[in-house]
Structure 1
Amino acid sequence: MTGLHVFDMDGTLLHGAASVELSRHLGTFDEANAIEAGWVRGEITETGFWEQMLPLWSTATESDIDEAFDNAGWIAGVREVFADIDRRGEHSIVISQSPHFFVGRLRGWGAHRTFGSLVGPHMSPDQWSLLTARHKVDITRSVLAELGVCESRCVAYGDSTSDVLLFEHLHNTVGVNCQESLRSSAAVVYDGDDIRAAYTLGRSLLEQSTTIRSESVS
């Protein structure tokens, strides 16, 4: 029986934020960290965030992004989890508000599909396509329909307010080192440094859903 595993990236698979990791590599960490902190406090709008952040990456090359990605603070076990999902004939997707040019590199680690904001240092604001919390729900529902997978066979993993809508929509949800705003919406919570442990909790939720469904059918 197939299944779908939906992962947030920043704060879930990655300690911190991709924007800060890339800026750290480019030598603009302090500026990026201040912008990120302002956005978290609600002092900077989402559009304002990118207006301030993107110029910090104006000199970035593909090699720079590769190196920043490889050296970022990933939680342990990301590749192993993607590999196990694939081995079971299930599907993994990553949905993040971070730039897709960074998120998309997780396909090289085994994620089946990746979704992120379409922004870049050389794009004008009218070309941007920002991914929102609502998009996380819509993308998940679209992939489930495309794959023919029911929601009871879907697990979401997240950490912040951007995951609340998705967690409210699904039954099988795992909060990973999550904010208080998400803990009340999560079916289970994992605190630690290894996504394999959170994934084990997710698999347990799938097993419980399968058992309940089998009992209701019988």
Structure 2
Amino acid sequence: MTRLHLFDLDGTLLHGSAAPVEISRQLGLDREIAELERDFVTRRVEPAEYARRVHFLWAELTVAHVDAAFAEAPWLRRIRETWDEIRGRGEYCAVVSLSPSFFVERLTGWGAHAAHGSRFPAVPFTEPLDPTGILTSAAKVGIADRLCGQFGLTRADCVAYGDSLSDAELFEVVPVSVAVNADRHLAGLATHTYAGQDLWDAYELVCGAR
């Protein structure tokens, strides 16, 4: 059976962190992004407003900053090995995240068949942010459906990996899911639960359930 493995980024592939946090750290904006993250997690700001604010915060952002943020981020261990295994089985892996596409899309270089994030202008920013390109939890489901169509699969063939409220809608529509270092929002929704820092171990929960 061919399957599509759908991975969240922030808090899932990144342990205890998020792409905007790592990017902001490179700019010395630790306090500002911590405040914005709190507002986002508590739903005081919606994804489009969050994106507008980080776009403003990152006025001085360069490609070098993004390079450093990606290189220094606290990634789970064995991401590439896990995706190599998935590919070797004739299955598919994709990343779907609310974080900026210019960060998320770098994961195709690690073996993801596809990587989708919120659409931001090219770095360094010379254009305004288009709020229609900012993803939501519902948009993750839509992207999953499009990927299924691309790969000749259905939702019944999907496995989702996530950690928070933004993954809940996707968890509700796929048959197998793994809560990775998850918060309370995924309680009762996930097929499997994993706490740790190695993606292979989370993936093995799914393999053992085949």
SS in structure 1 opposite 2:117? strand
- Count of aligned positions: 206
What is the CA-CA distance between 1:178 and the residue it aligns to? 0.9
Q: List per-residue Cα deviations over 1:168-212 (Å, max 9, x = no partner).
A: 10111111011111121101111111111111112233x1xxxxx
Question: Could you tell me whether the CA contact under 8 Å between 1:23 and 1:29 is conserved in 2?
Answer: yes
Paired position in structure 2 for 1:214: none
Q: What's the secondary structure of 1:12's corresponding residue?
A: helix
Question: 2:11 maps to which residue?
Answer: 11
The CA distance in 2 between the partners of 1:45 and 1:4, in whole Å, is: 28
Shift of 1:18: 0.5
Structure 1 ranges of 4+ moved more than 4 A: none
User: Any unmatched runs of 5+ in structure 2?
Assistant: none
C-alpha distance after superposition, 1:121-171 (max 9, x if no partner): 443244651111111111112211221224343211011111111111011
**Secondary structure of 2:186's match?**
helix
The residue type equivalent to 1:179 in the other structure is: D
Name the structure 1 match of 2:23.
Answer: 22
Deviation at 1:114? 0.4
For 2:106 and 2:18, the matched residues in 1 are separated by: 15
Q: Identity rate of aligned residues, in percent?
A: 40
**Partner residue of 1:57?**
58
Give distance in 2, aligned partners of 1:70 and 1:126: 27
Which residue is 2:171 aligned to?
Answer: 167
* Aligned partner of residue 197 in structure 1, secondary structure: helix
- Distance, in Å, in 2 between the alignment partners of 1:39 and 1:122 is 25
- Taking structure 1 as the reference length, the TM-score comes to 0.88
Q: 1:134 aligns with which of 131, 138, 153?
A: 138
Question: Is the aligned partner of 1:75 residue 2:76?
Answer: yes
Find 1:143's aligned residue among 147, 153, 173: 147
Greater shift after overlay, 133-142 or 91-100? 133-142
Match of 1:39 in 2: 40
Task: Tell me the CA shift for residue 55 of structure 1.
Answer: 2.2
CA offset digits 1:48-81 (Å, max 9, x no partner): 3222211222222222211110111111111111
The one-letter amino acid of 2:85's match is: D
Stretches of structure 1 lacking an aligned partner (at least 5 in a row)? 208-218
User: 1:77-107 CA deviation, whole Å, 9 max, x = no partner?
Assistant: 1111111111222111000000000000111
Letter paired with 1:28: L
Distance between the aligned counterparts of 1:155 and 1:73, measured in 2?
A: 23
Task: Label 1:70 to 1:203 Cα distance change in 2 as closer, same or farther (>3 A).
Answer: same
User: Residue 173 of structure 1 contacts residue 188 of structure 1 at CA under 8 Å; is this kept in 2?
Assistant: yes
Separation in 1 of the partners of 2:132 and 2:142?
19
SS in 1 for 2:6: strand
2:65 partner letter: D
Q: TM-score, normalising length from structure 2?
A: 0.91
